């Protein structure tokens, strides 16, 4: 058994002992500042499908827990759902970035998210030395939802039926808090239930954002396949306020697949989450570097 993970990390082999100590010392003020605080992490993109990045992610989550923070993981599973649908000869369809979810698709979504994907993440975190527990919105009455009524972006009078896609009515965080207090790391699938026990598929970015609000999280971290929020020239914007994001919506700088992600981030920032980080999950240990160092690995949105 190695004495220190730093001894075995090949990427640190060329770093002098003094520089290693500097790296660790730089993390100290952040560890102190965020000790005991909740950090909600939306896990998605390449970080979920690349085996090396999966392991990095699991190690990062365990380390955050060990230094006294309270990570809560919410995961997506778009590529895995598409793969499972293809096996039964079905193709996913989307309206305005939302997956149209009929009964058959819903069964696949539940099986993939609450079964395969969630259990993979729980296993990865446990192997990395953490104690992860999988939850869906049904557990402990966590996420109560209703059918999403989706207005057309161009013509608000028009409504799209996207099937069993839900919007959140309420979140009861007591099961998450109980697990956190008991040293567990909750891993949450974005599935909710309705007043008549019906099942709903909910956008994972939306679940992560709302959960961060309800848990009064210090941070919401969204792992993506992009460097972060880019301006019209394609340059990374590392630090934005909620007001600046509003302006970028208005002038069309932010569009397409980033819309639901940034909208959730913005809502969370406006509802008391101190900072929201949209980071590049394709960079090894991006989450740890974003939280525990000065360097920016994405875009931070400040509440004010």
Ligand-binding site membership of 274 (annotated): no
Ligand-binding site membership of 153 (annotated): no
- Contact residues for 240 (Cβ-Cβ < 8 A; gap 6+): 229, 248, 299, 300, 301, 302
Ligand-binding site membership of 68 (annotated): no
- Alpha-carbon span 165 to 146, nearest angstrom: 8
The angle that helices 78-87 and 103-110 make with each other, rounded to 10 degrees, is 120
Q: How far apart are the first and last CA of the chain?
A: 46
Look at the block and give the residue holding tokens 């956008």. 203
CB atoms within 10 A of CB 271: 14
Structure tokens at 244: 């600046």
Give me the residues paired with residue 190 across strands. Answer: none
| Cβ–Cβ under 8 Å, residues 301 and 242 | yes
Of 269, 110, 268, the C-alpha closest to 202 is 110
- Classify residue 18 by burial, with Cβ atoms within 10 Å: 0-12, 13-18, 19+: exposed
| Cβ–Cβ under 8 Å, residues 290 and 259 | no
Ligand-binding site membership of 77 (annotated): yes
- Alpha-carbon span 108 to 53, nearest angstrom: 25
Q: Distance from CA of residue 151 to its chain's centroid?
A: 25
| Cβ–Cβ under 8 Å, residues 133 and 140 | no
Specify whether the backbone of 163 is left (phi greater than 0), alpha (psi in -120 to 50) or beta. left
Annotated binding-site ranges: 77-78, 99, 201
Annotated binding-site ranges for substrate: 77-78, 99, 201
């Amino acid at each position: 058994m190695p004495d220190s993970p730093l001894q075995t990390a090949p990427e640190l082999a060329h770093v002098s002992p003094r520089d290693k100590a500097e790296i660790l010392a730089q993390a100290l003020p952040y560890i102190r500042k965020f000790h005991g605080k909740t950090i909600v992490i939306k896990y998605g993109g390449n970080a979920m499908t690349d085996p090396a990045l999966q392991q990095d992610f699991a190690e990062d989550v365990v380390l955050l827990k060990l230094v006294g923070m309270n990570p809560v993981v919410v995961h997506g599973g778009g590529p895995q759902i598409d793969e499972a649908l293809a096996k039964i000869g079905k193709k996913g369809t989307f309206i305005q970035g939302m997956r149209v979810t009929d009964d058959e698709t819903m069964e696949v979504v539940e099986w993939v998210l609450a079964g395969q994907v969630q259990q993979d993440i729980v296993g990865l975190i446990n192997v990395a030395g953490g104690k992860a527990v999988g939850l869906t919105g049904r557990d402990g009455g966590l996420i109560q939802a209703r059918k999403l009524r989706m207005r057309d972006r161009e013509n608000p009078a028009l409504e799209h039926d996207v099937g069993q896609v839900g919007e959140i009515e309420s979140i009861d965080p007591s099961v998450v808090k109980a697990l956190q207090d008991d040293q567990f790391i909750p891993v949450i699938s974005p599935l909710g239930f309705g007043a008549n026990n019906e099942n709903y598929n909910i956008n994972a970015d939306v679940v992560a954002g709302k959960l961060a609000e309800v848990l009064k999280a210090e941070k919401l971290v969204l792992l993506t396949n992009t460097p972060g929020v880019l301006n019209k020239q394609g340059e990374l914007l590392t630090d934005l306020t909620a007001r600046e994001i509003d302006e970028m919506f208005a002038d069309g700088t932010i569009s397409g697949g980033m819309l639901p992600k940034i909208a959730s981030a913005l809502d969370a920032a406006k509802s008391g989450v101190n900072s929201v980080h949209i980071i590049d999950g394709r960079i090894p240990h991006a989450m740890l570097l974003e939280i525990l160092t000065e360097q920016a690995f994405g875009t931070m949105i400040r509440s004010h």
